[in-house]
A and B are shown apart, each in its own frame.
Chain A
Amino acid sequence: MSELIEREVAERVLGRALARGGEFAEIFAERSGGLTLAIDESRIESVQSGAAEGAGVRVVSDGTTYFAHVDGLDPDDLERAAGEAAAALRADRAEPRPLEAVTSAPFPIAQPPAAVPAERKAALLRELDERGRGAGAEIAQLTASYAEIRREVAVANSDGLLAGDDRTRVRIGAQAVARRGDRVETGAETLGGHRGFELFDGDPGEIAASAAGKALTLLDAGPAPAGSMPVVVGGGFGGVLFHEMTGHGLEADHVQKGASVYAGKLGEMVAQPLLTAYDDGRMPGEWGSDAIDDEGTPTQKTMVIEDGRLTAFLYDRLTAGRDKAAPTGNGRRESFRHLPVPRMTNTYIAPGEATPESMIAEVQRGFYAVSFAGGQVDPATGDFVFGVSEGYLIEAGEVSRPCRGATLIGNCLEALAAIDAVGDDFEMKTGVCGKAGQKVPVGTGQGHVRIGAMTVGGTEV
């Protein structure tokens, strides 16, 4: 904290921010640095090194937020930003409370990536390249990327809070292209965490083999079915389904604007009793974890659905204040250039009792969506769509053949209520979630789940 902004500077900036009135003022300071590189055509390229420093100051007055941000952490610039944020206010000066430091230990990083020689990062990508290409003669291309970022943040506000965090994340991804004659298919896989280079101590090359395996499988794929049918969703990145169809609708800003299908449903059954789900910003080492959120609130494990009943929404400070609830540590922002909004951290469906095998065995004709390329939801209507990156037809209780180009489409409330089996397996995956023009790292997870009926959009009518 003291490294980013000194206490007396923070107090001066907050005083300046409230000089023309307001109920709340805050300064968020950040220093970030990162490195990304890629391998394509077996050549290391796109080596990019970045560094940024800056701060955002906001003043909240009578429900309106005034926000200004600047590059750099020069105390004069910070005061100027505070003056700009307060420029439109016309009320009497308010006094910030004296700052009291809250200590929250950052997540431990065993091997800070900045201290790891660049050659090891390049060697890691070469390993991914070899593993992916080695998966089969039909692998025509392999691209892989490596990214590391460290974000030191500090938050001080007029309620007297003074907190900081030091966050290091690393992530690798591999994308394979398989070709057989005119047939071209792709497969992708990622591995990431709120971790240092130690994340790659195991077998990181596995993700390239897995990406290549998916592309090869799809070479044998037929057209995807079209129509309504039972859908078994795979574990891990299958959790993006829950993230999109439920998680976003639980973010309190949508709820308070009446723009969520879950508004007014707290305490009601929204799923079958076999379903329990959490948002947990404290999972050690997970991609969506932080020690504090971007407003200084410690992150926490929040049960959002208990045995089918909706139990909680996800709050930042402002939305919590409106509902007279406690913030849940979900006030997140992409950088000092953005205002915090309620966002998920790591969201997952807790493991259930069914086995993936039994879930599939009970389906006469259906679809098995192992992994998604991504998804999108309109929280107001609950309509969602997901692109399936790896999917299979289920016939007579067995996985029969792979399918290309399938999309799942449906409505949140109906699909959530239609989950009729939750698997006893469990896996977390990394994602980058976009909302209000801001991207933040999120974790998604679950075991296999089965949705009784859902529309599969393919080309085979």
Chain B
Amino acid sequence: MIAIESGGALLLIALMALVTLLTRLGGVLLMSFVPMGRRVEGFINAMAGSVLVAVLVPVAVKADAAGQLALLSTAVLMLLYRRPMLAIAAGILVAAVVRAV
């Protein structure tokens, strides 16, 4: 336990910032010790999209019906037109409209 009085809070914030910075730099740093081969490269490339999907799963599960419709609209528009800004705007609009009615 650290008391937040007399500079304790600043110390806590500094420690949080340090841990977060290590996660930002650590991925590239750790990979520099891994010899690159076809399997490692295949792993990294497949992991890239999977990180996004894994971040999205609880978002989609926790969302209300309006939120899920928003994600669906974004997905459909992306598959049709491949225009991210259009697809995102449509998704947000859907969520806002469905929640308003």
Interaction A to B: no
